[in-house]
A and B are shown apart, each in its own frame.
Chain A
């Protein structure tokens, strides 16, 4: 009998000379992916949410200084131009909302340069959906419903923690008022080693505390939503004014892994343009490449986008939670090194 190459040859090394042709994921995980997709589509069909597709390659790029887009070149009539592979379908989906399409969802591949690790892959599957007229608290409930359904764990407990409460309870620091120096000192006191020479801004130190000390413990045996972020980390969320302004943003964690990020969407064109400008100025100061901003998206906001909440959920990670995988490669047929 000859040895039959087995599906799920995870150990196989691959090189340009001897490429590994076999898939990385076991067959049962590929089946679990198909089942996950059909459950998600059934979930939204029941609720009357419309599935849409928007361009993967676009003239404009995400301006977020923490995201690098992949770029390709299009031989257009009259000359070639750069197109950016989307890092999220957010801008065109919001243009659809402005056009009055109603509640929508999309399942698509998105791309982020430089991201590779146990939980990161430069090309990954995203589920993104928008609920016009909904608040972000209501959307968190729907995210929990979807996660329980897809994970087939209807009784999975849900908790909601505020970003501020989390930092105060665990570290005794107020993420709104603590400065970079005191956050650095706290990180050293907590025994986070090898960070003495790191040059970080305030938000960088908060991210360090979050990734090194908080995230691994979040969502253990439950769905944990962290919500209400410092305005400096609003991204595209609306900031609720008040004595202490709060970015109406949430993240979902399951078993120490961040699964989803949601916003009470910023719908003010002027405020959005100011955030683009701030992002671009941060990018310039860090020596990052210049990027074209999405003028069509700004025009849609100016024309009037309905108040809405929206969320993006990483499907590969959701699948990892479903099948109990530790590494993202376990749920991908062909990880980038074999692509």
Chain B
């Protein structure tokens, strides 16, 4: 079983704590003038996303988490699971709703996502930073309005709702930043 010493701690390192995989957000080495040294770390639980603080005795070891990121193509949803494929090996994997999380409202077939695997199973899914999606429903805007000010809600083909300028119409394609959930521009196919 791979382990890390606190000496190896740094941001991004993946470790196991109480049976869950965590990522180190911040590591601080503290030591009184004479005496016990500590590593005070802030760690993110990769299942829940929650950030907690933890203190280790310097020199202690902790189990490494078998966690890594890989690019995978989203294939389809069967009603319960999301199916992904490794574009190099063609190996397929299924992710449940917990792992897919918010990504579900942005991704459509053939999008390449960053899938975080824990012990070879999808732990979380990150959509592409920008996606192009069709508007399935939005109120007709005012003719001649091109300012984009104000805006109106629009439902996209994946079910997500974003604010779009008044001139954008049902059936058009829009580019959305998935990190902020904001409309960027109209798009062509």
CB nearest neighbor in A for B42: A194
Tell me if A194 and B54 are in contact (CB < 8 A).
yes
Q: From B27-35, B91-99, B119-127, give the one contacting chain A.
A: B27-35
Say which residue of A114, A192, A235 sits within 8 Å of B34 (CB atoms): A235
CB nearest neighbor in B for A232: B35
Write the A168-198 contact mask toward B (1 if CB under 8 angstroms, else 0).
0000000000000000000000001111001
Total count of chain B residues near the partner, CB < 8 A: 22
Cβ–Cβ < 8 Å partners of A208 in chain B: 36, 38, 55
Say which residue of B32, B37, B38, B56 sits within 8 Å of A258 (CB atoms): B32
Cβ–Cβ < 8 Å partners of A64 in chain B: 34
Tell me if A211 and B33 are in contact (CB < 8 A).
no
Cβ–Cβ < 8 Å partners of B55 in chain A: 192, 194-195, 198, 208, 212
**How many A-B contacts if CB must be within 8 Å?**
73
Do A258 and B30 form a contact, CB below 8 Å, given A114-B59, A212-B55?
no
For A66, A115, A119, A215, the residue with the greatest tally of chain B CB atoms inside 10 Å of its CB is A66
B83 contacts partner chain A, Cβ-Cβ < 8 Å: no
A105 to chain B, nearest CB (A): 19
A327 CA / B40 CA spacing, docked (Å): 16
Contacting B at CB under 8 A, from A90-149, are: 114-120
B8 to chain A, nearest CB (A): 11
Tell me if A204 and B54 are in contact (CB < 8 A).
no
Write the B119-152 contact mask toward A (1 if CB under 8 angstroms, else 0).
0000000000000000000000000000000000
Cβ–Cβ < 8 Å partners of A192 in chain B: 55
Do A114 and B7 form a contact, CB below 8 Å, given A194-B52, A194-B53?
yes
CB nearest neighbor in A for B30: A211
CB nearest neighbor in B for A215: B32
A114 CA / B37 CA spacing, docked (Å): 10
Contacting A at CB under 8 A, from B21-76, are: 28-38, 40-41, 52-59
A268 contacts partner chain B, Cβ-Cβ < 8 Å: no
Q: 14 additional contacts, CB 8 Å, given A115-B37, A198-B57? A: A114-B58, A118-B28, A194-B41, A194-B53, A194-B54, A194-B55, A198-B56, A203-B36, A204-B36, A206-B35, A207-B32, A207-B38, A215-B30, A235-B34
Can you name 15 A-B pairs with beta carbons within 8 Å? A66-B36, A66-B37, A117-B28, A120-B29, A120-B31, A194-B41, A195-B55, A198-B56, A200-B57, A208-B55, A211-B31, A233-B34, A235-B34, A251-B32, A261-B33
